[in-house]
């Protein structure tokens, strides 16, 4: 089963992003997770296209873009042009998820769909065989450094069963409160991709932490 660490840039040193990109390049992290927040779908505002374009110049790994914005369909082309390798949008923010999935695919970019912890996993059923990735939020989207919601394990197991029953090929990603203490249980429950912000960037040795989370 695929195991990937996607460190979330939200917890990086914004005064020295080039150094953090170089750390990611030399690490076992396969992707770099990019949290885009608009102050509307979520209360917080993070960063947008110019920062992503600068990251793209220094980072050799695919940018795993997590859109926490209303009307994501308006910006798909620009995120693709800014260098996204994967674009994940929130189910809660669109009227017609299938249309948005097709728009992202048309840009030649991988597509992901995500839900907050208060949205039933069952809403994802029509989409699991049409996307490359399903992201289950394990905290409410908006901020780094929150506590992992323990009820997430049963949601992950439900999603894993749904994907396997439909013989779908998407990977499961989780995001929020992931660290060295829950990494193994998450992989064992059927997760493929761990997003980790504070656990990686606040670690004394981030490259070692990435290695340890992969091999716990």
| Active site residue ranges | 35, 175
Contact segment (CB under 5 A) with Zn ion among 58-66, 69-77, 106-114, 146-154 equals 58-66
84 binds ligand DX5 (CB under 6 A): no
Q: Which residues, 163 to 202, sit near Zn ion by CB under 5 A?
A: 175
| 60 touches 26 (CB < 8 A) | no
177 binds, among Zn ion, ligand DX5, none (CB under 5 to 8 A by kind): ligand DX5
Q: Which residues, 110 to 169, sit near ligand DX5 by CB under 6 A?
A: 139, 141-146
CA-based nearest residue to 20, from 10, 86, 216: 10
Cα→Cα distances 136→23, 27, 108, 160, 173, Å? 26, 25, 23, 11, 6
Give the residue with the Cβ less far from ligand DX5, 108 or 147.
Answer: 147
| Closest distance to ligand DX5 from the beta carbon of 66 (Å) | 5
Cα→Cα distances 70→53, 104, 109, 148, 195, Å? 21, 16, 20, 25, 22
Contact segment (CB under 6 A) with ligand DX5 among 3-11, 115-123, 156-164, 166-174 equals 3-11
Please give the Cα distance from 169 to 192 (Å, whole number). Answer: 11
Query: What is the secondary structure of 9-69 as a DSSP string?
Result: GGGS-TT-HHHHHHHHHTSS---EEEEEEBSSSSS-B---HHHHHHHHHH--SPEEEEEE-
| 163 touches 144 (CB < 8 A) | no
| Closest distance to ligand DX5 from the beta carbon of 36 (Å) | 9
189 binds ligand DX5 (CB under 6 A): no
Q: Which residues, 17 to 46, sit near ligand DX5 by CB under 6 A?
A: 33, 35
| Closest distance to Zn ion from the beta carbon of 167 (Å) | 28
Give the Cβ contact number of residue 198 at 10 Å: 16
| Closest distance to ligand DX5 from the beta carbon of 46 (Å) | 9
Question: What do you get for the CA distance between the two ends of the chain, in Å?
Answer: 15
| 159 touches 136 (CB < 8 A) | yes
196 binds ligand DX5 (CB under 6 A): yes
7 binds, among ligand DX5, Zn ion, none (CB under 5 to 8 A by kind): none
Contact with Zn ion (CB under 5 A) among 7, 12, 29, 35: 35
Residue ranges in contact with ligand DX5 by CB under 6 A: 8, 10-11, 33, 35, 66, 139, 141-146, 175-178, 195-199
Residue ranges in contact with Zn ion by CB under 5 A: 35, 66, 175
């Amino acid at each position: 089963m695929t195991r990937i660490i996607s460190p979330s840039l939200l917890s990086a040193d914004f005064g020295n992003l080039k150094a953090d990109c170089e750390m990611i390049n030399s690490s076992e992290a396969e992707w770099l997770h990019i949290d885009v927040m608009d102050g509307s779908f979520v209360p917080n505002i993070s960063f947008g296209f110019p920062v992503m374009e600068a990251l793209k110049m220094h980072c050799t790994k695919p940018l795993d873009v997590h859109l926490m914005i209303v009307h994501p369909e308006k910006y798909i082309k620009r995120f693709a042009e800014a260098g996204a390798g994967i674009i994940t949008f929130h189910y809660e923010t669109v009227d017609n998820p299938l249309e948005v999935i097709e728009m992202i695919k048309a840009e030649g970019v991988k597509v992901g769909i995500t839900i907050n912890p208060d949205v039933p996993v069952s809403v994802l059923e029509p989409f699991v065989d049409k996307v490359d990735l399903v992201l289950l939020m394990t905290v409410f989207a908006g901020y780094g450094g929150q506590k992992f919601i323990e009820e997430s394990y049963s949601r992950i197991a439900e999603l894993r069963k749904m994907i396997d029953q439909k013989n779908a090929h998407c990977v499961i990603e989780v995001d929020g409160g992931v660290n060295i203490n829950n990494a193994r249980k998450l992989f064992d429950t059927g997760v493929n991709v761990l997003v980790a912000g504070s656990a990686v960037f606040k670690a004394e040795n981030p490259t070692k932490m990435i290695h340890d989370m992969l091999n716990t």
